[in-house]
Amino acid sequence: MFIREIQQKDNESIAKVIRDIFHELDAPKVGTAYADPILDTLYEVYQAQRSVYYVVEKDGKVVGGCGVAPLDNADVSVCELQKMYFAPEIRGTGYAEKIIEKCLKFAKAQGFEICYLETLSFMTTAQKLYKRIGFENICGPMGNTGHSSCEVWMTKKLV
């Protein structure tokens, strides 16, 4: 397995990974990444300035990913960790932490000072990982993500 930047050919694969996880976990489809209009065009979306999306590839197949980009409707010093999802077969392998660290390293190089993320309350394994990496809970959402179903918000200082 290895981590690489998303390519246009990955759009369909990573969108399927993300949607499959929402079905697997019976997670809300409205007000989450599942309903994002950009979900099928992540390669194009992450070509924007100060943005990157990485995928995990295993045996020629995309099995997960995570990105970072400026947080919409927020100060220019704030980025958002976005769309971190992993297929069941690679959970627990350490790739989530590796890909987050890669995203945070990119964010620091882009001059971001704070990284924000949001998630669903029942995604406790992910929250434990975020806390281990240094994210802390905050009392409410930041920016304008459109993810009204997410009820856990966290930030990490990058400087």
d(CA 80, CA 144): 11
Task: Take residue 108 and report the two structure tokens written for it.
Answer: 């620091």
| H-assigned helices in the chain | 11-24, 42-45, 95-109, 124-133
| Span 74-122, pLDDT tens digits | 999 999 999 999 999 999 999 999 999 999 999 999 999 999 999 999 9
| Span 20-71, pLDDT tens digits | 999 999 988 888 888 888 999 999 999 999 999 999 999 999 999 999 999 9
Mean pLDDT, rounded, of the chain: 95
Pairing label, strands 114-119, 152-157? antiparallel
Average pLDDT over residues 134-156: 93
Ramachandran category for residue 73: left, alpha or beta (phi over 0 → left; psi -120 to 50 → alpha) = left
